[in-house]
Amino acid sequence: MDTEPVAPADEARTVAAAAAAAATTEAVARANPLRDPRDKRLPRVAGPCVLVLFGVTGDLAKRKLLPAIYDLGNRGLLPPGFSLVGFARRDWQDQDFAQLTHDAIKEHARTPFREEVWKQLREGIHFVPGEFADDGAFDALAMALKEIDETRGTGGNYAFYLSVPPKFFPKVVEQLRRTGLADAPEGSWRRVVIEKPFGHDLKSAQDLNAITSAVFPESSVFRIDHYLGKETVQNILALRFANNLFEPIWNRGYVDHAQITMAEDIGIGGRAGYYDGIGAARDVIQNHLLQLLALVAMEDPTSFDANALRREKEKVLKALRLPQDLALGTARGAYTAGWQGGEPVVGYLEEDGIPADSITETYAAVKLEIANRRWAGVPFYLRTGKRLGRRVTEVAVVFQRAPHLPFSKDDIEILGQNALVIRVQPDEGITVRFGSKVPGTAMEVRDVSMDFAYGESFLESSPEAYERLLLDVLIGDPPLFPHQREVELSWRILDPIERFWASQGQPEGYAAGTWGPASADNMMARDGRVWRRL
């Protein structure tokens, strides 16, 4: 790790801006006689604002964003006057966009459809047609926003959500600068929301950041890693820091190793253009898995505000060490034709739009160590893949064997290691695995699981990740969004691995529906460990 990713000047500006923002909200609370910190029933509601959505016709907008906005409204969390502006290259009127929104809500919203909520939302829906290169379209957007401020009382507060392929970010951001939409007048705010991928290596991530940070201050940039919006992921913090049960053993004295897995059963579907050349590690490890690792391994933050939380995550990411020999400490693969859950499926190279000589991996596993007092010598194994046995994301902390076992060898033959598993999806919850006596037998001890079904029972009404994140954007609450420094630190870890893999030709095949290539199992076997069977 050489230079600091962010100049100190930027840091100072960020901190100052954050302090200013916090001060105003406190002042507002003090000035408002109807608010009281003891009044825990009143939800956090954003102030009046407009959400401008680029890429409304896209998959993400229809499946996640528009439904999440409705669900927020349904829970009474959208401010009066909230307005939604869609931007797309369609010759549409407001009502066409409203229709698209209506359909998306009907199909994907999690809360029941209510006419009055829809009416409230519908009143604030506007559409601006245009291409990203079209200056006139953005001038029209600026005018439309001004008008909305007048008719809806949104006070010049705009959030710009870039749900478009990253290659258009520069163009859109530039247009926002040119039209002055990026500059917040006194007393209002402007925010920009970007989706992953945040570049494909350190260099491109820095370039991308240079583009946004030239126009928006870091404190106004919200990077979405939707994993961080998930209740179970936030629950990692509660589990670790609200209890006294786990933290004392959460270190090298008791933990043998950790496994962080995100497995998908689907293939690349129609996303060949996006996926080829990117691969599993960039798509998943760089963001989701390293963020999970940071939350599991970090020290306790002094508070849960954005700065304190990010500082601890950064410290862990900085302390990460790659394996000495990348050939032995990493594994990659690409799925070949096989059977997935009872259906025959094609291999990666036979997918539409994938060149036969592609060297893109669809499975990646890496072994990382954390060079600090808490974790020295405890490997963290990260793996992700497509077309694996089933869809599951989890963090498993595997404990050392008991130092002495007063049982005969036969009695504990099938006793494994204790484990604490945080199930992120599906079936959110926590499992603890420990040995228990088998009834009736003399003294045979065997692994059993104790289950906390967090997800199943709460799932129905717990908000979707995007709901939580959208609300945080509108309120301006940044803890759940990765900072640019975290993004860059993650690329510093991944870049050497990617460079090494690029020199190794095509990845090893694994039959679709299985749990990855043999090299990944061998990597574990060399350490005397095995992957958890999921």
Partner 1 sequence: MTSFMLAGTNASKISSQLTMLRHQMGAPAVGMVLTLVAICDESNQYDAVRAATDAAREHPSRIVVVIARSREEPIRLDAELRIGESAPGETILLRLYGDLTRHAESVVSPLLLPDTPVVAWWPGECPQVPAKDPIGLLAQRRITDARASADSVKAIMSRSRGYVPGDTDLAWTRITPWRSLLATAFDQPVGTVESGVVEGSPGHASAPLLAAWLSERLDAPIEIAESEGPGLTSVRLATSAGDVSVTRSDSRLATLVRPGQPDRRVALARRPTSELLAEELRRLDPDDLYGAAIRHLAD
Ligand X SMILES: NC(=O)c1ccc[n+]([C@@H]2O[C@H](COP(=O)([O-])OP(=O)(O)OC[C@H]3O[C@@H](n4cnc5c(N)ncnc54)[C@H](OP(=O)(O)O)[C@@H]3O)[C@@H](O)[C@H]2O)c1
Nearest to 138, CA basis, from 187, 110, 173: 173
Q: Does 30 bind partner 1 (CB under 8 A)?
A: no
Whole-Å CA distances, 402 to 253, 416, 431, 441 = 11, 10, 19, 22
> Which residue shows structure tokens 């060399």?
526
Query: How many binding residues for partner 1 (CB under 8 A)?
Result: 43
Q: What letter would DSSP give residue 471?
A: H
Please identify, among the stretches 24-32, 135-143, 225-233, 393-401, the one whose residues bind partner 1 according to the rule CB under 8 A: 24-32
Tokens 């946004």 identify what position? 212
Binds partner 1 (CB under 8 A): choice among 12, 19, 22, 76:
76
Which does residue 506 touch among ligand X, partner 1, none (CB within 5 to 8 A, set by kind)? none
Question: Which tokens go with 532?
Answer: 């958890």
Among 57, 417, 462, 506, binds ligand X (CB under 6 A): 57
Closest chain position to ligand X (CB) = 58
Which range binds partner 1 by CB under 8 A, 26-34, 91-99, 218-226, 376-384? 26-34
Beta carbon of residue 453, minimum distance to partner 1 (angstroms, whole number): 5
E-strand stretches of 218-358: 221-224, 255-263, 320-321, 330-336, 338-340, 343-345
* CB nearer ligand X, residue 142 or residue 524: 142
| Rounded Cα distance, 332 and 281, in Å | 9
Say whether 315 counts as a known binding-site residue.
no
Q: According to the binding rule CB under 8 A, does residue 24 interact with partner 1?
A: no
Query: In the complex with partner 1, which residue's Cβ is closer, 98 or 317?
Result: 98
Q: What are phi and psi of 377, to 5 degrees?
A: 85, 0
Which one, 241 or 452, has the nearer CB to partner 1?
Answer: 452
Q: Where are the alpha helices (DSSP H) in 124-201?
A: 135-152, 169-178
Question: Contact at 8 Å (CB) between 128 and 165?
Answer: no
> Which of positions 150-169 make contact with partner 1 (CB under 8 A)?
150-153, 155
- What number of H helices and E strands is found in the chain? 18, 18
Strand order of the β-sheet with 190-195 is: 125-129, 83-88, 50-54, 158-162, 190-195, 221-224
- Rounded-to-integer distance, Cα 126 and Cα 52, Å: 9
* Residue 201, Cβ density class (10 Å: 0-12 exposed, 13-18 middle, ≥19 buried): middle
**Is residue 264 annotated as involved in ligand binding?**
yes
Copy the structure tokens of residue 76: 């009474």
DSSP-derived letter for residue 330 is: E
89 is in an annotated binding site: yes
Is residue 165 a contact residue for ligand X (CB under 6 A)? Answer: yes
Of positions 21, 47, 58, 305, contacts ligand X by CB under 6 A: 58
Q: Single out the segment in contact with ligand X by CB under 6 A; choices: 18-26, 162-170, 203-211, 247-255.
A: 162-170
Query: Which span (34-42, 172-180, 258-266, 318-326) binds partner 1, by CB under 8 A?
Result: 34-42
CB of residue 43 to partner 1, shortest distance in Å: 6
Q: Note whether 166 binds ligand X by CB under 6 A.
A: yes
Tell me how far, at minimum, the Cβ of 54 lies from ligand X, in Å.
7
Helix, strand, or coil here: 426? coil
- Taking Cα atoms as reference points, which of 468, 463, 474 lies closest to residue 51? 474
**Residue 288 designated active-site:** yes
Q: What is the Cα–Cα distance from 383 to 393, expressed in whole angstroms? A: 10
Q: Record the tokens describing residue 338, joined without a space.
A: 């096989």
* Residue of 200, 288, 404, 483 marked active site: 288
| Residue 397 binds to ligand X (criterion: CB under 6 A) | no
Among 126, 152, 196, 423, binds ligand X (CB under 6 A): 196
- Partner that binds at residue 60, options ligand X, partner 1, none, CB closer than 5 to 8 Å by kind: ligand X
Whether 318 has a binding-site annotation, put simply, is no
Which residue stretch of 164-172, 357-365, 379-387, 479-487 sits at the interface with ligand X (rule: CB under 6 A)? 164-172
CA quadruple 55, 59, 60, 66: dihedral sign: positive
- Helix/strand/coil for 345: strand
By CB under 6 A, tell whether 89 contacts ligand X.
yes
Q: Give strand pairing partners of 259.
A: 381, 396
Pattern 443-462, binding to partner 1, x per CB under 8 A? --------xxxx-xxx-xxx
The residues that touch ligand X, with contacts defined as CB under 6 A, are 55-61, 88-89, 131-132, 163-166, 168, 195-197
- Catalytic positions, written as ranges: 288
Interface positions with partner 1 (CB under 8 A): 28, 31-36, 38-43, 45, 47, 73-74, 76, 79-81, 114-117, 119-120, 123, 150-153, 155, 451-454, 456-458, 460-462
Residues annotated as binding site? 89, 131-132, 196, 226, 230, 264, 283, 386
